[in-house]
Amino acid sequence: MLAWTIYISFIGVLVLMLLPREAARAARIIALLTAVAGCMVAFTGSVQQPNPGEVMTIVKVPWIPSIGASYYLAADGISLVLVVLTGLAAVAGILFSWNIEKRTKEFFAFYLALIGGVYGVFLSFDVLLLFVFYELTIIPKYFLIARWGSTRKEYGAMKLALYSFVGSHLVLIGLIAAWVVARAQTGHATLDLMELSKVSFPLGFQHWVFPLVFVGFGILAGLWPFHTWAPTGHVAAPTAGSMLLAGVVMKIGAYGCLRVAMVLLPEGVRMWQGEIAALAVIGIVYGAGVALVQRDFKFVIGYSSVSHMGFVLLGLATLNTIGLSGAVLQMFSHGIIAGLLFAVVGRMVYDRTHTRDFNDLQTMQLGKLLPFAGVTFVLAGVASMGMPGFSGFVAELQVLMGAWRVFPKITMLAGVGIVVGVAYILRAMQKAFYSDAPVAGKSSHDHPLEPISTPERIGAMMLIAASLVIGLFPGLLLNWIQPCLNSALFERLLKGGSL
């Protein structure tokens, strides 16, 4: 059933392509219906999964028998979490791009193609298939930003596309090498993730292939120092584009790190564990520090994404159950909260005021003009800081607990990152919404701002609710994640390995 998340999205793309160009309203509605249908399928399919600890095969048919590739879609608890996240982010993104007037149908066609590819990545258990879906997301991303974006859009789009493509090619080198070695060892060609995860790759091989694959996926997860696409890409993208970039695209990077690099090469992770943790913490502190001094509102959120994704990577590096489950939870949580923050900055503020410069925003008293935007930003902001009751708190707490056991020193540095995180959110909140700077000469009352529309309200409330529900009842997701980490697939990774 979950496979229909992918199919529905691509059917939506086809339908949109056949629409006449002028039918903007129809395009919006079709896109929304497609996304909602995908989200419902994701929800019901996930809830119906009887045992999230096991890998449930959805479909498995031979695809290219000569190299052992199959069309193998499956899901375990971790996939479920991320599929649900994708469903939510997809619906929210469309609600926040209701005002796209320029070539509407093409915008939503690219948008749904991106969503379909992301669902595919989370559900593939064949390495080649996963790679196919992974690369499939690059093209829509590029066009969404280059065509419908803002500040330096062509530069940002090209930078993101090239970073993604180079990253995926590093992965490809690793995949081909692993495929050849596995074939030499087992005697038959396979690209099945479950089978490959049983192969013991030689230690020397793991030592050099692991960083290749991990960095290849990590580029998209915002791994410092390869994160530089993230701020420019996020800022250049249209609102829905940044929501998806931060909400799900960065997650497919982190998911690839966990699902492919770490599961296939467990000894490799152990060899590079310290380095990954160090890079992750540098990312946390650096992202937060740079966010603190930005003048552009969107850059603050862009760098905050780098910082929060650092927690995901730190969680992955811990190699213990609590750290890993924190990492997956953080993927979900950041997907929701970052999406909301970008929605406020891009849609609610920038589309109305046409500026993101704090110096200009300071004089506008947006807190009074757009109270809904102000309140949403406050809620999203405190969720992002890690306020208990929101999802971010549970996730980051688990990551830090996991990391404390392994690397106590750098975990303290990560704590510094959290404090700075509070500071940049408060600064942004104060400057953008609740400044007491005198109102500028040309009062904004002259051109009253368009009020917050219904789709925006629905989208914002949906995301806040998701973050609150998971914050109050983290068990909902942890019941999916934790059995999965105790399953056979993660055994070698978490229990000292077979070598």
Residue numbers of the site for other proteins (CB under 8 A)? 63-67, 106, 128, 131-132, 135-136, 138-139, 142-143, 146-147, 154, 158, 161-162, 165-166, 169, 172-173, 176-177, 179-181, 183-184
Smaller CB separation from other proteins, 143 or 424: 143
**Minimum distance of other proteins from residue 194's CB (angstroms):** 20
CB-nearer residue toward other proteins: 176 or 465: 176
The tokens of 317 are what?
Answer: 């590096």
Query: Nearer Cβ to other proteins, position 146 or 349?
Result: 146
CB of 245 to other proteins, least distance (A): 18
Q: What is the secondary structure of 329-365 as a DSSP string?
A: HHHHHHHHHHHHHHIIIIIIIIHHHS--BHHHHHTT-
Q: How far is the CB of 368 from other proteins (least distance, A)?
A: 39
Which token pair is 71?
A: 């069309």
CB of 79 to other proteins, least distance (A): 20
Q: State how far Cα 491 lies from the chain centre.
A: 26
Q: Is 258 exposed, middle or buried (0-12, 13-18, 19+ CB in 10 A)?
A: buried
What is the smallest separation between the CB atom of 147 and other proteins, expressed in angstroms?
A: 5
CB of 173 to other proteins, least distance (A): 5
- Give whichever of 165 and 372 is closer to other proteins, judged by the CB atom: 165
* Smallest separation (angstroms) from other proteins to the CB of 255: 18
Rama region for 149: left / alpha / beta (φ>0; ψ in -120 to 50; rest): beta
Minimum distance, C-beta of residue 191 to other proteins, in the bound complex (Å): 10
Closer to other proteins by CB, 147 or 427: give it: 147
What is the Cα–Cα distance from 299 to 289, expressed in whole angstroms?
Answer: 12
Written as one letter, the residue type at 128 is L
Q: Give dist(CA 318, CA 196) in Å, integer.
A: 23
| CB-based contact 138:165 (threshold 8 Å) | yes
| Contact call for residues 334 and 355 (beta carbons, < 8 A) | no
Between 138 and 248, whose beta carbon lies closer to other proteins? Answer: 138
Which C-beta is closer to other proteins: that of 161 or that of 418? Answer: 161
Whether 251 and 89 have beta carbons less than 8 Å apart is answered as: no
Q: How far is CA 330 from CA 287, 322, 394, in A?
A: 16, 12, 8
Identify whether the C-beta of residue 83 lies closer than 8 Å to the C-beta of residue 90: no
When the beta carbons of 89 and 145 are compared against other proteins, the nearer one is 145
Q: Are 377 and 443 in contact (CB under 8 A)?
A: no
- E-strand stretches of 39-198: 56-64, 69-75
* Cβ pair 200, 192 in contact under 8 A: no
